[in-house]
Each structure stands twice: as C-alpha cells, then as structure tokens.
Amino acid sequence: MKWFPGLTIERAEKMCIEQAMEFYHGNKTLVSKSIGIAIRTLDSKLEQYAKENKEMDAKDEERKRKEDEFSLRSRGLLQTQSRPQVEPPNEIGKKQTVPLYVGKEVQKVPSKPSPSGPPGSAGRPNTSGSKV
C-alpha cells in the first residue's frame, strides 16, 4: 500500500484488510493473525464494509436510474407524467380573474403622452393662449 494525499487512517485500515483478505484467499484466521487484530474485530470490520458497500451500491443505482431517465427524456423517448390537478377545498385557493369588459365596452387604458409639442408640455393642454 502506498500513501497518497487524503488517505485517512480508516481508509488505510480498510485497504490493508482488503489486501490481506485477497492475499490469504478470504481466510479470516490468517488475515487477523497477519495484521494483528482479533478475529471478532475483523468480522465486525468486514460487516461494516459490507454495509457501506451496500449503501453505496443503492446510491449508485439511484444515480444511474436518474441519468438514464434524463437521457431518455432529453431524447424525447420518455414522456413526463403530469400530476393530477387537485382543486382547493374552499374559496381561499381559487384564482380570481379581472373582467376585461365593463358592460359591452372595453375598458380604456390611459395612453402615454404624445411626443408632439414643446418640451415639458407633453400630454398637457395648452393654456397659455398662444398657438404651438
């Protein structure tokens, strides 16, 4: 085993146990004697590693499933299922609309002042009595 930046004691221990297990072809008695730990400690470490591997495998499978789904959806081969719309149980959640018509006439929207006329008088009536 060779040291590298970021190598923790826990990771070094795991690598040591894995290499010893490979060297002794899974013989736990020889592995525990060769690295100097009790066989019960070795068993608990191997159980811990198996649990960690199982969790990582589950995360990897979920990540792969999401990547595959994204790939299919981006190529148009998988349709997104829309969620059913649920109506609110009371008046609070309903959308309110503003009428566009008052009676039969369309509501008038104030227009912007016209740019004609002297500066500063846009949109104001000429009250000075002079013609512009």
The enclosing domain of 48 has a CATH number of: 1.10.10.60
Q: Assess if residue 20 is contained within a domain.
A: yes
Higher pLDDT, 66 or 98: 66
Domain coverage including residue 67: 9-74
Q: Are 55 and 47 in contact (CB under 8 A)?
A: no
pLDDT at 94 (0 to 100) = 55
Three-state secondary-structure class, residue 56: helix
Look at the chain and report how many structural domains it folds into: 1
Dig out the tokens for 107 from the structure.
């509501």
Positive or negative torsion for Cα 104, 110, 116, 118: positive
> If you search the block for the tokens 């104001």, which residue do you land on?
124
Residue 82 lies in a domain: no
Q: How far apart are CA 90 and CA 88, in angstroms?
A: 6
121 falls within a domain: no
Name the band, by pLDDT with cuts 50, 70 and 90, for residue 105. Answer: low
Rounded to two decimals, the pTM is 0.47
The most confident of the ranges 43-52, 92-101, 105-114 is 43-52
